[in-house]
Amino acid sequence: MATNKPVRIIISGGGTGGHIYPAIAIANALKETSNSVELLFVGAIGKMEMQKVPQAGYKIIGLPIAGLQRKLTAANLLFPFKVINSIWKAKSILKEFKPDVAVGVGGYASGPLLYAAASAGIPTLIQEQNSYAGLTNKWLAKNAKKICVAYPDMSTFFPSDKIIVTGNPVRKDILDTNLNRSKALQHFKLAENKPTILVIGGSLGARTINETLKASLQTLSQANVQVIWQTGKFYFESCKQATASYSTSNIQVHDFIAPMDLAYGAADVVISRAGALSISELCLAAKPAVLVPSPNVSEDHQTKNAMALVNNQAALMVKDAEAMEKLIPATLSLLGDESKKRELAINIRKLGKPDAAKQIAQEILKLIK
Query: What is the Cα gyration radius of the chain?
Result: 21
Give the Cα separation of 299 and 317 in Å (integer): 18
Was 201 annotated as part of a binding site? no
Task: State yes or no: 130 annotated in a binding site.
Answer: yes
Instruction: Tell whether 302 is in a known binding site.
Output: yes
Nearest to 25 by CA among 367, 363, 365, 355: 355
Q: What is the dihedral of CA 60, 61, 63, 67, to 10 degrees?
A: 10
DSSP, res 61: E
Distance between CA atoms of residues 13 and 125, nearest Å: 12
Q: How far is CA 263 from the centre of its chain?
A: 16
What is the spatial distance between Cα 11 and Cα 51, in angstroms, rounded to a whole number? 15
Type of residue found at 128: E
| Cα–Cα distance for residue pair 347/350, rounded to 1 Å | 5
Report the distance separating Cα 261 and Cα 225, nearest Å: 20
Element (H, E) at 209: helix 207-215
134 labelled binding-site residue: no
**3-class DSSP state of 122:** coil
CA-closest candidate to residue 116, choices 142, 159, 87: 87
Q: Is 231 annotated as a binding residue?
A: no
CB 181 within 8 A of CB 265: yes
Check whether 18 is labelled as a binding-site residue.
yes
Residue 13 neighbours by CB under 8 Å, 6+ apart: 19, 20, 23, 43, 49, 104, 105, 106, 107, 108, 109, 110, 136
Q: Is 230 annotated as a binding residue?
A: no
Is 167 annotated in a binding site? The answer is no
Q: How distant, in Å, are the alpha carbons of 207, 317, 319 from that of 303? A: 17, 9, 8
Annotated binding site: 16-18, 130, 171, 203, 257, 302
Q: Which residues belong to the annotated binding site for UDP-N-acetyl-alpha-D-glucosamine?
A: 16-18, 130, 171, 203, 257, 302
